[in-house]
Structure formats: structure tokens, C-alpha cells
Structure 1
């Protein structure tokens, strides 16, 4: 692992930027209300990254986003669009109808109900499930939610990914990609999810399970490609979350499988790049976090965590993948920042060729990532 004896000028510049950002406000940001039913908000984020496997540490623009929300007694809606450094993408865009106090429906590009919601993680980097398409995923379809307080049930059907195009790699959610080697596209998906909330003294437990079935259409995108067949994908998960005082613990086990014909791989894409994952795996996540109320000038709250993910695979051409993120989220008025140390072995986005695949020697790599966000 590379070490530094002193910060570089860029790093000095980063900490000046960080301290300036933390000192600008002392109240939590809210969206700007237009009237009783509409509000508009958004965010501007910059990012600093240092990698022990590359010499390209830098401070750069990461994101500008716009949020629009609508809420009346019966109807509601929400949309978010994001501009990154090199791409712009839709995050979500749906309309909703409150049937009654316990039931509502959503139609459009809405979150897929699978596993721990809203996130199976605490860090800027999410868990490994995000990169497999099973965390903070948004697709186009219909979502029914029944929430009576102690029980929540979700039933959803999605006709496609958010773009209905597997060759569109510029996207936020990780979806099945149409590539020359794996020419498939999402073409129908059913999700069922149930969760029970149990209170015991100061502790609140969430215990639940999820099922997902997918239809993937064969879409050869090269002239003279071999004929193929549509395939199916299956996934199931069980989860537990405990909130006690300012502690939070999350555990989840997931199993997924795609009926790929031969090479035991399938392609996903997001943020402009396709990559390969094992066609089946067991995935375990174990996270713990602790919140701290502080009075450090403009800083009012810290949430420190360790999020661990491991992907277990077996078979020729496959190898386990691991991701661990240790860090803190910092609240300072309208600024919300992450300081994360990410370590991974054979893991996409941390110097790995994909997820769960074997492309030769596996070794640990790590990176420091600091993200400063101004939310309005």
C-alpha cells in the first residue's frame, strides 16, 4: 500500500475547501417551498479521491441535481435528475395516489422494493448490493405499498429498466446491460417484499424478506450473432435491522441467479461503463453505525459506520469479492459530507475487473474518498 509522508498541495486545498464548506451554515437544508403543494430542491457536490493503486488523486465536480416534489391530500409525485461530470441521468420520476392511510400506489421510475429500505448501507459507496443491482435500484413500472405501522407489504411490477434500453450505459441504477458477449435486456420484473416492525424497550427491529423474478430478453447487437433465447433471473433476501438509541445494526443475506447458458457471467452497466458479474452468488452484508450529536462550530451531527459486503461464488472462472467501507457522515447546516475509506478485493470500482469473476490474481486495493455536498 502506498503511503504519504505529508499532504500534497491538492490535499491542502481540499481541507481548506472542506472547512470553508462546513462553516457556511448551521441549519439543516430543506427544499424550497413554492406553495403548499410544490417544492424544489437539489444538491451540488464535489469529490476528493486518493487511490493506493493509481496516481490520479484530484478534487473535482461530482454532481449537480434537481429535485421536484408534489404533495396533495390524495396525489403526490417526485422527480430527480442528475448531472455528473461526464453524464446526465434520471434518478427517479413517478406519480402516486394515496388510496387511504395504509395504501398507496406509485407509477413511473420508482424504487424497486428489495431488501433493506431505503438503503442497505450508510456510506456514500452503498453496499456491494448496489453494484449488483439490488440496492437503490429504480425501474419503470407499478408499485403498491401497504403500510399499517407494524407491517409493511410491497408488490411491484416493472416493465423495463428506467430507459427501456440495455445498450444505454449512462445511468444511475445498475441494470442488466446489452453487450456483444451477453446481449440481454430487462423486459419484465415482479417484486414481493414484507417487513415486520417489532419494538422492544428502546430497540426497534425490522425483520423482513424479499423475492424478485426477472425476464431478460435476448437482444443480439452484432451482425451475425448466434441465435439465443430469453432467460430468467431470480433473487431472494432476508434482512434484519435494529435501531437502539443512536446505534444501528443491519444484516442481510441474499441469493441471486441468472439462467445464462454457458460462461456463468452476465453484464451490468451504470455510470457509462458495462462490466461483468457472476451469474449466481450468495451475498452477505453486515453493517454497524453510531450517531453522535456534537457542537463543533457548524457541525451538529456525526454518523460513523463500518459497512461490510462479501459475494460468495463457486465454479470455474469465478472468485469471491469483498468490499468494506469505514467512515463518517458529517452534518453541518446545509452541508452533508462523507469521509470514507474503501477497501476491496476483486471488487468493481475498487480496482477489480467485475464482481465475482476471476481474471487472474486477486489482491486488496483501497481508496480514500471525501464527498462534500451542499443541499438546498
Structure 2
């Protein structure tokens, strides 16, 4: 049997199983009669199949993606929200973990490992495959700190303060960090010893609710010290963002523009045009341009589904996510990425079928495209690379 035939059979069997699966919700949920106190356990398990059109060890294999254990609790106006991730290669990470307090219906205070409020967050995409913003630290990004959100039907205002960033050993999403916190770095990365301190984020969004759909337009800013452990000097980091979320019936659009800059006080001889990014298990440490502008344009179309043949299938979502990185140095080529696909919502199963194409993007080309977010002078530089990715997840 061919790989494609085997894959089709496997997916068919999985969907068939979902026909008979009843959506039980979390395996454990308890709450008082009035709902003032509750405890809930949940999570998911996911696997990937990839067809990568370059030399790759993962090509044509079904591999474990990750698993999550989520714990949520409520006690009157206080609540708990945590998510712990089990990744391949025995990696573990804290996706988020915070306690919250809602003094009233318009205010929410969170403390712990919180999401950084910025532009479209935590996920500025429809696809399973992360886009360029994720790899530059602008998606699913968390850090130890405290936040306050004041909101209504007409607006959102969120302020957050993060004194330090999450350690590279427990971080899920990439973030600028120091090479000495990592188990493995390349020789040319060892002198990059910068870390963010005392980051402040502000996000403001204006919301409208029309008959044809909900609209949101927002502005975000972030600023932090950028401390160099070798020179013991502080540079700075800042980012500014504009975003829009627009819904028109079954259609939704996500657009955003982000400009960022890292001004590091490196020792003499260390290239200040790039900064080191850390992650935990998703990809080895890599460089990104110290200054650049990210553009995002995503489109989705959701079609509700009612069928006796697949009763669990509630909707199908078609999407196309596009992102681009313009680097500040004019002699460094742009990075571009586009992902198109379909999401099948058949809870407790969620299935994504993604096709991704891009150039000068580390995730498309792997180690041979390792300079994608900087000088783009590696083996696959300025070459368009393509992959299919099928992600099958079971939620509980």
C-alpha cells in the first residue's frame, strides 16, 4: 500500500471512529449547584503527518505532535487557568499558568505565566501551522507577570508587566533570550547573551457589533530593557502593532502590521543586526533580524455542517494565512509564508489539513534554511519550499 493510500485509510478510520464517539467534555468536571466553585481537567493529544518537499528526516512519517493537560478552577471571583505541554524528544513546557480575579464584569486581573497582550493574540492565524509572527515572538507568547484588562462591549484595554521572560527550558513559544540558558547552541550563537527585563505591554481595541458581523480595530505597544550579560549594559526592545478583526457572516479576516526593534549593547565584534531567539523543542535556537516589519493577512470561511453520516462533524473551515517579514537591512531578502487548508471540527476530534509554501522561513527548509530570518545566505535561501501537514487531535 502506498503512503498516500495508507494515510487516506488512517484518516478515514479516524473520522469513522468519531461518528460513534460521544462528546463527553472533560474527563473530570465538578461544580457547585450555583456554579460559584468548580474544577475541570481537560486537554488534547495530537499527531502529525508531513510531506516535506526538501531533504528531511520527517518526510512521510506519522509523528507525535504534543499533548496538553489543562486545569481550570473557580472559587467565587477567583479562578485558575493552566496548560502544561508534553512535546516530543522528552521536552516539557508551560504554555500558560495564572490565577485570576474578576472584581466585576468589566475588570480582570491575572498573575502568573500570562499571555503577552499584543495585536492579534494568542493565535494570529487560522491554520495549525504557525506563521512568521510566532517565530518572532508575537504568537502564543507568555511570560511571568501581571496583567489588568478593562473591557466592555465597545472596547478592550489591557496592561501587562513582565519583570523577566520565561526560562528557555520551560518556554513553549520562541522568545529573544541568552545563549547561556540553552542546552545546545552553535559556536556562532554563544556570544549572544541578551535577555529582556521589565517588559510593559499595552493593547487597546475598539469593538463594533453590526448586523453583518463583529469588527475590532486595535493598537498595541511593547517596551523592555535588553540586558547584555557580558557587557552588563542595558539596551532596549520595542514593538508597535496595528490590527483588525473583521467578520462578515461566514467570512472572517485578520490583518496586522507590526514593527519591532532590538537595540542590544553587545561586546565589540558581535553583530548587532541580529538577535538570538530561543524555543523549547519546536526548533533549535536561531537568529532573527534585529529590526523589521511584519505584515499579516488571513482569511477564513466557516461552513456549518449537519450530516447523519458524520454526526460529530459540526463545521468545516477553509482558510488562507499569509505573513511577510521585511528586514531593516535592505541587502537582506524578505521572508514570506503562506498556508492554506481546511479544518474539520468533529469534536472531540479536530483535524487540520495544511499546505504551506514559503521562502527564507526556517520552518520550511529546516536546518539548511537556518538564516531565513536574517541574511538569507544558507543553502535554501530565496528558494520557495513546500510541505503538506495533516494534524489530527483528540480533545478531552
TM over 0.5: yes
Q: Is the 8 A contact 1:186 1:216 kept in 2?
A: yes
Aligned partner of residue 130 in structure 1, secondary structure: helix
The answer for the alignment partner of 2:250 in structure 1 is: 246
The answer for the alignment partner of 2:206 in structure 1 is: 196
User: 1:304-324: per-residue Cα shift (whole Å, max 9, x none)?
Assistant: 100000001142662210111
The answer for the alignment partner of 2:67 in structure 1 is: 64
Structure 1 position 17, deviation (Å): 4.9
Q: How does 1:289-328 map to 2 (within 5 A)?
A: 289-296=300-307, 297=310, 298-315=312-329, 318-328=332-342
Structure 1 position 171, deviation (Å): 2.6
* Alignment equivalent of 1:265, drawn from 248, 261, 274: 274
Structure 1 position 231, deviation (Å): 1.7
Cα distance in 2 between the residues matched to 1:17 and 1:219: 54
Cα distance in 2 between the residues matched to 1:194 and 1:312: 25
Cα distance in 2 between the residues matched to 1:316 and 1:181: 25
User: 1:149-199: per-residue Cα shift (whole Å, max 9, x none)?
Assistant: 211100000011222xxxx35531211121213211122200001001012
**Number of residues of Structure 1 aligned to a counterpart in Structure 2:** 362
Query: Which sections of structure 2, spanning at least 5 residues, go unmatched?
Result: 33-37, 180-189, 266-270
Pick closer, same or farther for the CA change 1:60–1:174 going to 2, 3 Å: same
The answer for the alignment partner of 1:171 in structure 2 is: 171
The answer for the alignment partner of 1:358 in structure 2 is: 376
User: 1:285-318: per-residue Cα shift (whole Å, max 9, x none)?
Assistant: 0011000111341322111100000001142662
User: 1:61-83: per-residue Cα shift (whole Å, max 9, x none)?
Assistant: 21121100012331011111011
1:345 aligns with 2:359: yes
Aligned partner of residue 113 in structure 1, secondary structure: coil
Q: Is the 8 A contact 1:177 1:274 kept in 2?
A: no
Q: Is the 8 A contact 1:169 1:274 kept in 2?
A: no
Q: How does 1:75-94 map to 2 (within 5 A)?
A: 75-86=78-89, 87-94=91-98
Q: What is the TM-score with the length of structure 2 in the denominator?
A: 0.86
Q: Is the 8 A contact 1:191 1:212 kept in 2?
A: yes
Q: What is the TM-score with the length of structure 1 in the denominator?
A: 0.90
Cα distance in 1 between the residues matched to 2:82 and 2:349: 22
Structure 1 position 279, deviation (Å): 0.5
The answer for the alignment partner of 1:121 in structure 2 is: 125
Cα distance in 1 between the residues matched to 2:23 and 2:250: 20
* Alignment equivalent of 1:156, drawn from 149, 153, 160: 160
Pick closer, same or farther for the CA change 1:12–1:101 going to 2, 3 Å: closer
Aligned partner of residue 314 in structure 2, secondary structure: strand
Q: Is the 8 A contact 2:322 2:339 kept in 1?
A: yes
User: 1:184-215: per-residue Cα shift (whole Å, max 9, x none)?
Assistant: 11222000010010123322110000000021
Structure 1 position 21, deviation (Å): 4.8
1:217 aligns with 2:227: yes
Cα distance in 2 between the residues matched to 1:21 and 1:140: 41
1:184 aligns with 2:188: no
Structure 1 position 12, deviation (Å): 4.7
Structure 1 position 250, deviation (Å): 1.0
Query: Which sections of structure 1, spanning at least 5 residues, go unmatched?
Result: 1-5, 221-226
Structure 1 position 148, deviation (Å): 1.6
User: 1:117-173: per-residue Cα shift (whole Å, max 9, x none)?
Assistant: 34211111233111110111111001000012211100000011222xxxx355312
